[in-house]
Structure 1
């Protein structure tokens, strides 16, 4: 059985390897070259500076996957919503780890006072990610056809969104910038 906990710098050798595998073999990311551990740590520092969650799923000391929330866009008007990112090691797929990471991420973002979460899913054929988001209450809100080209084919981007807090005409709190 796996546990979900906040990521630490010690997890970044595994996190970097998981992302590199997804860059090299998957269409969930449009990256064509895997970033270094240092680049991945810089992204982690940015997420931490905004007090947003960055999680790992761990079993027997092995990181099986990770998820984090980050600004969808950095302009202040976007501060009440976040974009989620979830990546799994290849041996971790099909075990409910992605869904468990997403549920915990949503819970933490809701506690933080964020109003919405946006999934920007690479590849309209990425049925696992689309299915996990749908199972967690996300609605399909749009497609960007042929937004990227990887592995010799055009890839769409799928947008899915989910409210975390009820609609209000006057949001409370500072969002991710406070």
Structure 2
């Protein structure tokens, strides 16, 4: 054996040694419960939605929706027996919501709906959109809905398009320059999924 093998290992001076690696703090699990929306959720739904109205192009609404408008929309979905669900944290905070609405008002369209999914800013990027869309599809099937459409802005909503495509939605058309918001023109991407 070589003599060097018996010599103690040299160490760097303390100032030059790398700091011991600290274990990252444990992440708090992202927990939520899905349930049917109730009228008491509407103020929080309005708050989440109006954030998107004011800050994004994912909705073409330019004016904040009022509580009265949300009550009307909610009552209409209830009357049509369309699913309207929310995700809430263990403390009761509303994290996001999803619902379907009539694609068109004519009676022949009654089994074709458009989906809408909105998450509170703190709930994005955690997989909740995927959970809400999956639940919305399941509940829509049970409600007798046959076709589901997604009408998505062609700019600024790429994650929404990708999410829908993961669930089997297929692009069936595009409309260019049909919306004007924040001083520029926007188009829409139309995706469709059969729920047979």
Distance apart, 1:98 and its partner CA: 1.1
Partner residue in 1 for 2:67 = 37
Gaps of 5+ in 1: 166-178
In structure 2, the residue matched to 1:143 is 174
What whole-Å deviation, never above 9, does each CA across 1:12-52 have from its counterpart, x for those lacking one? Answer: 11101001101001111100011111211110001001011
Q: Check conservation: 2:58, 2:156, Cα contact below 8 A.
A: no
SS at structure 2 position matched to 1:140: strand
Deviation of 1:119 (Å) = 0.4
Q: What CA distance in whole angstroms lies between the structure 2 residues aligned with 1:143 and 1:153? A: 17
Say which one has the larger Rg: 2
Q: TM-score, normalised by structure 2?
A: 0.81
Give CA-to-partner distance per residue, 1:65-119, whole Å, 9 cap, x none: 1110111001122122111011111111111111111111110110112111000
**Which of 37, 56, 62 lines up with 1:26 in the alignment?**
56
TM-score (norm 1): 0.89
Q: Quote the residue 1:54 is aligned against.
A: 84
**Bigger relative CO (Cα 8 Å, ≥ 6 apart):** 1
**After the TM superposition, which parts of structure 1 deviate over 4 Å for at least 4 consecutive aligned residues?**
none
> Match of 1:103?
134
Verify the 8 A CA contact 1:145 1:155 in the aligned structure 2: yes
Aligned residue for 2:130, secondary structure, equals helix
Give 1:125-136 correspondences, 5 Å limit: 125-136=156-167
Please tell me whether the aligned partners of residues 27 and 123 of structure 1 are also in contact (alpha carbons under 8 angstroms). Answer: no
What residue number does 2:28 align with? Answer: none
Pick from 65, 68, 80 the counterpart of residue 111 of structure 2.
80
Matches within 5 A, 1:61-76: 61-76=92-107
Counterpart residue number, 2:185: 154
Q: Which has the higher strand share?
A: 1
Superposition RMSD in Å? 1.0
Q: Is the 8 A contact 1:143 1:158 kept in 2?
A: yes
Correspondence for 2:146: 115
SS in 1 for 2:117: strand
Give the C-alpha shift of residue 130 in structure 1. Answer: 0.4
